[in-house]
Chain A
Amino acid sequence: MADELVNLTVDGVPISVPKGTLVIEAAKQAGVLVPHYCYHPGLPVAGVCRMCLVEVEKAPKLQIACATTVAEGMVVNTQTTQAKDARQSVLELLLINHPLDCPICDQAGECELQDFVFQEGRSGTRYAEYAKRFNPVEDFGPDVLYVPNRCILCTRCVRFMEDVAQEPVLNVSERGDRAFIGIHPAARLDHPWAGNVVDLCPVGSLLSKDFLHKARAWELDKTASICTGCSQGCNITLDTRDDVVVRVRPRPNLEVNRYFICDHGRMHYRWMNRGDRIEAPLIRKDGALQATDWDEAFARVSSILRGASGKAVALVSPGASTEALALAKRLLSGGGFDWTGAFQVVMGEEAPLAGVPNLALRAERAPNAKGAEQLGYTRDYAAAVAAAQSAAVVLVLDDPDCAVQTSGALIYLGTVLGPDAPCRTAEVILPIANVAEEEGTFVNRDGREQRYFQAKPTPGMAQPAAWVLGELVAALGVAEAV
């Protein structure tokens, strides 16, 4: 059922938008980005920064685009002298107390104050007074630092905690130019979704301790990915610098995570940079594991599979890609085995983001349990481990702690394998890529299939698990899944 449409003009461009749309959103359709700070589509409208002042024909005063709803026949001009002067004045005023910290500020390069001053600001300040106000840096909680001098009081952080997280632990304290973002000593900023205030902050006032002075924004390569922290499937961006993942940030997706990710997912990336990786295929020769090339490794696996029959068990990680899981199943079940596949999921406490429907850090701490389920893998892990003891072939996919013992052949595909790991008894060990090093899909808890992309190269000779299994399927001539 179509929304009633309203026709208006923004900077000479005619557009049609649903009734009730804000001018600032409507302008995007005309290709116009109205400069703004306090406005954010994921937060209630505040209208305080006054940056988005635009001229609306027939209105006696300039209007803020973030709080003006479209009307039929409205004519909006963002580039008139009056509007530009007003916005330039806002920028000048924001800069009178804002320190010239760019050289040491984490936000440089992705700072909305820099951006709009560059675009519309004055080339110099007329502020000739003494000392700008000074307040010391404050530690708000587990990951968030507050630098009061840089704060432009847009109140996005306060509104996020109040309306979206629904735990008002941030306030505006004092009045006038003495105002700052405050916190009560009895309550730290330790909400499971608090890290979002750092993303929301348009300037370098709220900072992530984790990211502090780690990299410059312009050094970062950004790749679209999906968070592996739980089964919610939040869309993220992996920021890498010299092929090391240094930061995780949310990617907007109105259907899944809107504009936010939880702190667990945000901090859950260091494992992607582990150095203790399996870097070459290993096969057992004369009782010991020896490194070899893919051809020889594939040859060994093929001969194992051709020479075996009966039960085959696949013990998989619920963090493996759907493609890898599908091919593992095809390899075993299509290869004539009596196939069982199982996975187990680490569970944790659920932490919802109260102000957004159907969004939480989920109890299931894995991204693709649903994908595995849909393919026929069961959660009866213990039974599968027991069955594996007498299976002809056991395939372990990316589960380094798997403690399976079998009288059959154990084939291990993984990223790491510790010196005392039980799977060191495997016949063949094949190195695979982690989520940051491959392309693939996960199915979230709602059945939504989402794609992630490669952010950095695989180490050594490692390859995506889907490629490895695909090659084996081709080599064995397994055409269709059974």
Chain B
Amino acid sequence: MSTSSSHAADHIEEYRPVFAGKVLEELQTLLQRYPTKQAALLPALWLTQRERGWISDRSMAEVAEVLGITPAYVKGVVTFYTMYHQHPVGKNFVQVCTTSPCNICGAEDVVKAFLEQTGAGDPGAISPDGKWTIVEVECLGACGFATPVLVNDDFIENVTADRVAELVKKYR
């Protein structure tokens, strides 16, 4: 799964459609799988986030047009699912599970370590160098490998507070 993303600020320049060329072809292949266009909405939003790094209101309107639904409908869906970013995030988007099974294995210390060592400061904020956003998430489905951490699409298991430094070094 490709992790490259361009954080295009599409409110500054004229908006470049996401669904053109190869990306449009990808979507068209996906559309074959469902009896309705609307069912391709989640996949289309993933493509948008892959291409742009986040999903802007303008992109929501584009997806709506391509699938024949309304922008408000798309926005209702985007705001429901926590993995879609509604604003730009740091180059490394770090998700740390802190639900009970990981919580009792030191997950909150892992979060603290990431926030301190990346300079991000607060959960959800972009670090001053633009390279990090750290968030606490709910159960990542790897409870026996406490604490699991997602750095973009890399799922890393058994992260403890003292392992954070090496991870920060690796991804910076």
Contact across chains for B79 and A182 when beta carbons are under 8 A apart: yes
Kindly provide the distance from the CB of A59 to the nearest chain B CB, expressed in whole angstroms: 31
Contact across chains for B71 and A182 when beta carbons are under 8 A apart: no
Contact across chains for A170 and B72 when beta carbons are under 8 A apart: yes
Contact across chains for B76 and A171 when beta carbons are under 8 A apart: yes
**Docked complex: A153-198 residues within 8 A CB-CB of B:** 167-175, 182-187
A183: chain B residues at CB < 8 Å are 72
Q: Is B155 an interface residue (CB 8 A)?
A: no
B73: chain A residues at CB < 8 Å are 168, 171
Q: How far is the CA of A260 from the CA of B61 in the complex (A)?
A: 29
Q: A210-251 vs B: 1/0 string, CB under 8 Å?
A: 000000000000000000000000000000000000000000
B79: chain A residues at CB < 8 Å are 171, 173-175, 182
B72: chain A residues at CB < 8 Å are 168-171, 182-184, 187
**Docked complex: B69-121 residues within 8 A CB-CB of A:** 69-76, 79-80, 82
Q: How far is the CA of A169 from the CA of B34 in the complex (A)?
A: 24
Which among B71, B76, B82 is the interface contact of A186 at CB below 8 angstroms? B71
**Which has the most chain B C-beta neighbours within 10 Å: A175, A183, A186?**
A186
Contact across chains for B80 and A186 when beta carbons are under 8 A apart: no
Label chain B's interface by main secondary structure.
helix
| Chain B: interface size category | 10 to 19
A170: chain B residues at CB < 8 Å are 72
Q: Is B136 an interface residue (CB 8 A)?
A: no
Contact across chains for B80 and A184 when beta carbons are under 8 A apart: no
Kindly provide the distance from the CB of A301 to the nearest chain B CB, expressed in whole angstroms: 59
Given the known interface contacts A184-B61, A185-B57, A186-B57, the answer about A167 and B80 at a Cβ–Cβ threshold of 8 Å is no
Q: Is B60 an interface residue (CB 8 A)?
A: yes
A172: chain B residues at CB < 8 Å are 76, 80
CB-nearest residue of chain A to B76: A171
CB-nearest residue of chain A to B73: A168
Contact across chains for A187 and B76 when beta carbons are under 8 A apart: no
**Docked complex: B50-66 residues within 8 A CB-CB of A:** 57, 60-61
Contact across chains for A184 and B75 when beta carbons are under 8 A apart: yes
Which among B60, B69, B82 is the interface contact of A168 at CB below 8 angstroms? B69
B75: chain A residues at CB < 8 Å are 171, 173, 182, 184
Kindly provide the distance from the CB of B20 to the nearest chain A CB, expressed in whole angstroms: 20
Q: How far is the CA of A182 from the CA of B79 in the complex (A)?
A: 10
Contact across chains for A184 and B57 when beta carbons are under 8 A apart: yes
CB-nearest residue of chain A to B64: A184
Q: How far is the CA of A174 from the CA of B57 in the complex (A)?
A: 15
**Which has the most chain B C-beta neighbours within 10 Å: A167, A171, A172, A185?**
A171
Q: How far is the CA of A186 from the CA of B62 in the complex (A)?
A: 11
Contact across chains for A184 and B69 when beta carbons are under 8 A apart: no
Kindly provide the distance from the CB of B87 to the nearest chain A CB, expressed in whole angstroms: 14
A167: chain B residues at CB < 8 Å are 70
Kindly provide the distance from the CB of A167 to the nearest chain B CB, expressed in whole angstroms: 7
CB-nearest residue of chain B to A172: B76
Which among B61, B69, B76 is the interface contact of A182 at CB below 8 angstroms? B76
Kindly provide the distance from the CB of A190 to the nearest chain B CB, expressed in whole angstroms: 13
B80: chain A residues at CB < 8 Å are 172-175
Kindly provide the distance from the CB of A176 to the nearest chain B CB, expressed in whole angstroms: 10
* A and B contact pairs by CB, cutoff 8 A, 18 listed: A168-B70, A168-B72, A168-B73, A171-B72, A171-B76, A172-B80, A173-B76, A174-B79, A175-B80, A175-B82, A182-B75, A182-B79, A184-B61, A184-B74, A185-B57, A186-B61, A186-B71, A187-B72
In the complex, given contacts A174-B80, A184-B57, what are 14 additional A-B residue pairs having Cβ atoms less than 8 angstroms apart? A168-B69, A168-B72, A171-B76, A171-B79, A173-B75, A173-B76, A175-B80, A183-B72, A184-B71, A184-B74, A185-B57, A186-B57, A186-B61, A187-B70
Chain B interface residues toward A at CB < 8 A: 57, 60-61, 69-76, 79-80, 82
5 pairs of A and B residues whose beta carbons are closest in the complex: A171-B76, A184-B71, A173-B79, A184-B72, A168-B70
